[in-house]
Structure 1
């Protein structure tokens, strides 16, 4: 028995990305959900499950109940899932399993937050026991991992610059992207480190915004006449230690397990993949995910990403709406949306002939990982 292709993403919706002063995360969720339901042409009263990634900057108890109440629905099933930035992809797979088990018919998965105009202090919080020695905020952990990768594999800065340039230059052509100014290698290399070796353009945006998807079975989508349902071909998960310093190998992630599981479920190999939407909170995260998914050997990403390989017309088109480095820092959902657009043929940077897309979501300092594979 396989669940590959039995469920689809029937609708997607999002708010604008950037600044939403005075808006609550609940109201942003509601706006995104309404847009997704409109895209799927589904009335909100037909939704019988609501799964929400809780807001990073303002974690709340019974958050899904608050969103459902604001939306004016009373779903049979619901809940919030705390897996950091990996949660959105995981929640989609949970919805699929609940649908196949006959527990629900139509599910909504959503996420919204307002750290840019609300409370960004969460990104500066102490990190584990090492906070006793001055480890505060998100950047130091990624900087340590990046430094280890450079030390082990002599990874040149141009490798990270190629990732930043691909994301940014795809974002230039996305009218909804938060940052749309182009980036070249000279500009990337000229920027001073924020936390060495992380430069400014290695780092994610901080954004207000929300996004949602509507999930149902392929059979239900046919019954309802959904215009452009996108089959969910595979998914997978992985998780490692909380403390970065405790990890046996700082240059590998559980993307290895997550990606291999999802590709096996979809019946694909890395060589079969047409395009990717990779969690690029930092360029080192994207680079290591490309390696761990098997697109290149460990330590060889520098050769893999050079010469425009990640651009729209390259060997492996990457983050074609701009990702976290250009479109929005909203963790994970925007990558799923762009995967859907690629399969629908509606991306502003449409990859010619793309018949599948691999999407990664990641949480914490590379602690959790979730993978989705979508098809046509």
Structure 2
């Protein structure tokens, strides 16, 4: 349980954050299950398992929770009833991975407006055991005219990303050797992460010799569909310092939809929307892009890393392939990315695991993959709904 509160210190912190949404909430508990094939567990089971881990991490019980957001589980009603949570505010979001950032932003807004003070965010996914493929039928394809694109083989997100990358190669000269840097770097990071599914280092030859799923994307460019659960505990910033572990403050966030004519592939790879979200996020957090110590990118497919870097302005559009060379995005590099191994090598937890990694980096509990500088870490998801969050060690 949380110890006695220093009310004088709490009130001083509250005054600091009362001028706006910056720093009004923080993540104080994180929990994950193992990742991989976990037969016999439902999505609700995995989400509940992760939540108990997060509650233990924050030294809380379900009775301390007054807000609830669930994602990819059966319902908020089932989770609340099974765990004994009686929330004063709750929400359930669609299962798309773009909703992970949206969930955290919603929780931050609920806390900042006084709707609740401690929110449990619960995610469970038994996709591997259930045989989820995220494609293969028209209804699972991205875009609003899947009935028109499906006859040409566009029945999965990977097909669209393959075309986006092919166009990137044609317009800017991006090479497959350059793109391989993403998969190889993230696999190296995963080799330092005991909970990662794919930990064996990946060579350039192995990358090129791996089978194509949709050419020019190899199997190594695809995220890992697995079973697992992730949970977060968010609270009001004025009590965040009173928990057992260092908090990760939510300093800024933003969202931008690109939903009109959103059929894949988008001509600018969501660059305009990502740029707009990045600028708003930096402005809210009162930081500059150069202040970012590490970036957690939604890597459902490896080209999305290039699109994120270009959209946020770390490099010009078309220069992503060059930018990631020379160790720049590795641990110890100028801008480390996805230090857990990300979706490509840790597990595809649809953005949730990337936030857990950001929190653990800020706490400095990542062992061999711990970064030297972790004051400001950004999460970004380029997609039809772009989201960006800035986490900080202080506010």
Please name the residue that 2:90 is paired with.
78
Deviations 1:309-361 (A, max 9, x none): 11101111111110001111111011000000111111131110221101123
Please name the residue that 2:177 is paired with.
158
Please name the residue that 1:355 is paired with.
375
Partner of 1:271, secondary structure, is helix
How far apart are the structure 2 equivalents of 1:153 and 1:289?
16
Give the TM-score normalised by structure 1.
Answer: 0.93
Give the TM-score normalised by structure 2.
Answer: 0.89
Please name the residue that 2:68 is paired with.
50
CA shift, 1:39, in A, is 0.5
Please name the residue that 1:16 is paired with.
34
Give the conservation status (yes or no) of the 8 Å contact 1:158–1:185: yes
Give the conservation status (yes or no) of the 8 Å contact 1:167–1:319: yes
Moved more, 305-314 or 344-353: 344-353
Give the conservation status (yes or no) of the 8 Å contact 2:294–2:377: yes
Deviations 1:7-58 (A, max 9, x none): 1101000110001101100111100111111101111111111101225xxx
CA shift, 1:299, in A, is 0.7
Please name the residue that 2:390 is paired with.
373
CA shift, 1:294, in A, is 1.1
Partner of 1:254, secondary structure, is helix
CA shift, 1:134, in A, is 3.1
Deviations 1:63-86 (A, max 9, x none): 111111121212121111127212
Please name the residue that 2:126 is paired with.
114
CA shift, 1:122, in A, is 4.0
Count residues in correspondence.
Answer: 365
Give the conservation status (yes or no) of the 8 Å contact 2:28–2:243: no
How far apart are the structure 2 equivalents of 1:257 and 1:231?
22
How far apart are the structure 2 equivalents of 1:148 and 1:89?
28
Structure 1 residue corresponding to 2:48, chosen from 30, 52, 61: 30
CA shift, 1:138, in A, is 2.4
How far apart are the structure 1 equivalents of 2:26 and 2:206?
41
How far apart are the structure 2 equivalents of 1:274 and 1:119?
37
Structure 2 residue corresponding to 1:64, chosen from 63, 76, 85: 76
How far apart are the structure 2 equivalents of 1:143 and 1:253?
20
How far apart are the structure 2 equivalents of 1:124 and 1:218?
44
CA shift, 1:113, in A, is 0.8
Q: Structure 2 vs 1, CA of residues 119 and 192 (structure 1 numbering), >3 Å: closer, same or farther?
A: closer
How far apart are the structure 1 equivalents of 2:136 and 2:272?
23
- Structure 2 unpaired stretches of 5+: 1-18
Please name the residue that 1:323 is paired with.
342
Please name the residue that 2:263 is paired with.
243
Deviations 1:97-139 (A, max 9, x none): 1112111111011211111011414433322231243321221
Give the conservation status (yes or no) of the 8 Å contact 1:15–1:32: yes
Give the conservation status (yes or no) of the 8 Å contact 1:10–1:40: yes
Structure 1 residue corresponding to 2:160, chosen from 141, 147, 154: 141
CA shift, 1:274, in A, is 0.7
How far apart are the structure 1 equivalents of 2:245 and 2:159?
45
Partner of 1:116, secondary structure, is helix
CA shift, 1:186, in A, is 2.1
Aligned CA RMSD, in angstroms, stands at 1.6
How far apart are the structure 2 equivalents of 1:276 and 1:141?
24
Structure 2 residue corresponding to 1:214, chosen from 233, 236, 240: 233
Give the conservation status (yes or no) of the 8 Å contact 1:343–1:355: yes
CA shift, 1:253, in A, is 5.8
How far apart are the structure 2 equivalents of 1:240 and 1:225?
38
Does residue 87 of structure 1 match 2:103? no
Partner of 2:45, secondary structure, is helix
Q: Structure 2 vs 1, CA of residues 233 and 197 (structure 1 numbering), >3 Å: closer, same or farther?
A: same
Off by >4 Å, runs of 4+ in structure 1: none
Please name the residue that 1:228 is paired with.
246
Please name the residue that 1:294 is paired with.
313
CA shift, 1:191, in A, is 2.2
Partner of 1:287, secondary structure, is helix
Deviations 1:239-265 (A, max 9, x none): 2134115x4534736322222221221
